Amino acid sequence: MSPDGRFVLAIDLGTSGPKIALVDREGGVHSSVIESTKLMLLPGGGAEQDPEDWWRAIVDGTRALLSRSTIPPDRIAAVVATAQWSGTVPVNREGKHIGNALVWMDSRGAPHVQRRTGGFPTIEGYNVFRLWRWIRRTGGIPTNSGKDSVAHILFLKHEKPELYNEAYKFLEPKDYINLRLTGLFASSVEAMTLHWVTDNRRPLEIEYDHRLIRMLGLDREKLPDLKLAIDVLGQLTPATARELGLPAETPVVMGTPDLHSAAIGSGAVRDYEAHLYIGTSSWLTCHVPFKKTDIFHNLASLPAAIPGRYFVANEQETAGECVKFLRDRILFSQEDAFSTPAPPDFFDALERTVRQVPAGSGGVLFLPWLYGERTPVEDHVIRGGFLNLGLNANRAYMARAVLEGVALNTRWLLKYVEAFIGRRLPSINAIGGGANSAAWCQIFADVLDRPICQVERPIEANARGAGLLAWLALGKTTVPRIAESVKIARRFEPISEHRVLYDAYFRAFLEAYRASGKVIRRLHARN
C-alpha cells in the first residue's frame, strides 16, 4: 500500500469490457472489478461498440469498486484511463458521441487508405515515394488492412459523409473516456501514432505533420490537440464526480493506450526487456532506444508512453479470442439446436484437460487466424482451422492444439522481433488473461524456447501500468522504481525434451500458412 494510503483509480477499457482497479504507487492492486460490454461484428469487416455501453460499464464498475472497498473516495489521488488502441469515436462540439465507436478490428476503411498510399512504383502495395516520406517521419504508414484509426476516419468521410461533417473531433477510446471525465478534448502523442500524421523523429517534440494530413485528405481541426501521457489533463467535472462517487477536484491524468500501459504494467520497462500480452489479441514487445521500421513484417518502433522512449509495435489479431471461440462455437453454444451452456468453471476445466494431453496434441495443428493477421504478415483474408484431425482426435486434443497454435504464431513473431532489435530475448514477462494459465505459460516457454515469467495478477497488468503512469505523472514514482515494483509470480523454463517436437510443428505451421492461402482466398471470395 502507498505510504500515505492513497490510490489511483485506473480504468482499463478492453474489447470485452472495462477493468477498474485501485493501484498504489508500488504497483500493488488493492482491489478491482470487471464489467462487460458488447462487440458488434458487421458485414464488410465492420466492428463497432457503443460508447454509452462503455461509460455505463465504467460507472457501474467504479461505484461497485468503491462500495466494496475500505478506501474512502477522498483517498483517490487521481483517475487515469487506458483503453484498446486504434479505435475511433466521432463526437460533436458538446462532447456527445454521434455514432458507434469503430474499434481496432474494423477494416472497412481499407480501400480508402489504399487509394491514398498506393500507386506506381510500389513496394508491398505502397507507392515508393509516399512510403519513404511516411516511414521517415512517422516510423510507419497506414496499413493496407484498414484497421488503423485513420482508416476509420476515411471510411466515415467517404461512406458516412453526414456523420463526418457533423463530427467536431475523432477521438481514440481512452481520449473519449477522458472527455467524459473532464469535458476536455485532447489526445496523447503516442496514442495518435496510428493516425500516421505525427512527426515522431524527435520523441520529446512530437507534433502533427500538416503535409501528411493533406496527403490523407483529413481535416486538422477534427483531430485533438496533443499532450504527453504523463500530463494532467484536468479535473473531474462536477457531474461526472457525482456519477462516479468521487470528489470533483480529483485530477485526471492523460493516460495511454493498452499496448503502452501493458509495457509499464509488465515491469519490463528497461530497453530490450520484453513482455508477451495474451488477451483477446496478443503482442510481443519491448522498449528500444531507436526509431526503426520493418515494412515487410509490419514492425516499427513507435513512441512509448514514457516520454523520450520508443517501443516495438506489433499485434497478432486473435489469441485469447481463439479460446473463447473454442468455448462458445465448438465445445459449447447457445445459437443452435445443439445448445449447451459452458460450465462456469470452464477455464479451470480447460487447465486440467490440457495438462493431461501430451505435447503436440496427438498431431492436431491449430491455425489461429480467425480474423486475419497483422504481424508478422499483414493478411486480413487468411483464416484459421484445425489440421490433421483423425478418428483418434477428441476435444482435449483440440483444446491443447488451440493453445499451441497461438504459441506457434507468437514464435513466428519472435523471430522477427529479435531480428528487429538485433539480439536474443533472454526471458519474457507474460501478462493478460491468458497468462493466468500455468499450462499455457509452459506451452509458450516450450514453443518459444525462452523462459516465461508469469507476472503477479497478470490480468490487471494494463490497469497496473496505467496506475503507475499516473503516479509517475504525479511525481510519486520513477521508471527505475517501476522496474523493481512489479512482482513475478512464477518462472516457467522450457522443457528440453519438447524442443525437437515443436521445431517440427513450427515448420509445419509456416508451411500450412503458405499452402492454405490460395484455397482460403478462393473461399473468401465466395462468402
Q: What is the pLDDT of residues 15-58, one digit of tens each?
A: 989 999 999 999 999 999 999 999 999 999 999 999 999 999 99
3-state SS class at 359 = coil
Cell of 52: 454509452
Question: Angle between the 110-117 and 128-138 helix axes, to the nearest 10 degrees?
Answer: 100
Q: Residue 40 pairs with which residues in a beta bridge?
A: 48
Q: How confident is the model at residue 527 (pLDDT cuts 50, 70, 90)?
A: low
Q: Is residue 78 a contact partner of residue 470, using CB atoms and an 8 Å limit?
A: yes
Whole-angstrom distance, CA of residue 362 vs CA of residue 168 = 56
Specify the pLDDT at position 518.
Answer: 84
pLDDT at 240 > cutoff 60:
yes
More confident residue, 381 or 152: 152
pLDDT at 5 > cutoff 90:
no
Specify the pLDDT at position 404.
Answer: 98
* pLDDT tens digits along 157-178: 999 999 999 999 999 999 999 9
Specify the pLDDT at position 384.
Answer: 94
Specify the pLDDT at position 429.
Answer: 98
Whole-angstrom distance, CA of residue 201 vs CA of residue 454 = 34
Cell of 333: 453454444
Specify the pLDDT at position 378.
Answer: 87
3-state SS class at 259 = helix
Mean pLDDT, residues 74-84 taken together: 97
Specify the pLDDT at position 420.
Answer: 97
Whole-angstrom distance, CA of residue 154 vs CA of residue 161 = 10
Specify the pLDDT at position 339.
Answer: 75
pLDDT at 1 > cutoff 70:
no
Specify the pLDDT at position 3.
Answer: 60
Whole-angstrom distance, CA of residue 516 vs CA of residue 438 = 32
Backbone angles phi, psi at 327, to 5 degrees: -70, -50
pLDDT at 124 > cutoff 90:
no
Torsion angle, CA of 301/306/307/312, rounded to 10 degrees?
Answer: 0
Specify the pLDDT at position 334.
Answer: 73
**Which pTM does this prediction carry?**
0.90
Q: Give 378-421 as a DSSP string.
A: -BSS---EEES--TT--HHHHHHHHHHHHHHHHHHHHHHHHHHH
Whole-angstrom distance, CA of residue 522 vs CA of residue 511 = 18
* pLDDT tens digits along 311-361: 999 999 999 999 999 999 999 987 777 778 889 999 999 999 999 999 999
- Where exactly are the structural domains of the chain? 7-264
* pLDDT tens digits along 171-228: 999 999 999 999 999 999 999 999 999 999 999 999 999 999 999 999 999 999 999 9
- What is the phi-psi region of residue 45: left when phi exceeds 0, alpha when psi lies from -120 to 50, beta otherwise? left
- 431, amino acid identity: I
**How far is C-alpha 475 from the chain's CA centre?**
27
- Regarding the domain delimited by 7-264, which CATH topology (the fold level of the hierarchy) does it fall under? Nucleotidyltransferase; domain 5 (3.30.420)
DSSP state of 143: -
Specify the pLDDT at position 340.
Answer: 84
pLDDT at 444 > cutoff 90:
yes
Q: Is residue 12 a contact partner of residue 455, using CB atoms and an 8 Å limit?
A: no
Whole-angstrom distance, CA of residue 372 vs CA of residue 368 = 9
How high does pLDDT run on average in the chain? Answer: 95
Strands (E), 84-141: 89-91, 101-102, 122-123, 126-127
Mean pLDDT, residues 77-88 taken together: 97
Block residue for cell numbers 531507436: 290
Closest CA to 134 of 228, 216, 219, 257: 216
Percentage, residues of the chain above pLDDT 70: 99
Mean pLDDT, residues 483-502 taken together: 96
pLDDT at 91 > cutoff 80:
yes
Mean pLDDT, residues 263-284 taken together: 96
Mean pLDDT, residues 374-392 taken together: 92
Specify the pLDDT at position 2.
Answer: 58
- 182, amino acid identity: T
Q: What is the largest CA-CA distance in the chain?
A: 65
Mean pLDDT, residues 247-276 taken together: 96
Whole-angstrom distance, CA of residue 368 vs CA of residue 281 = 11
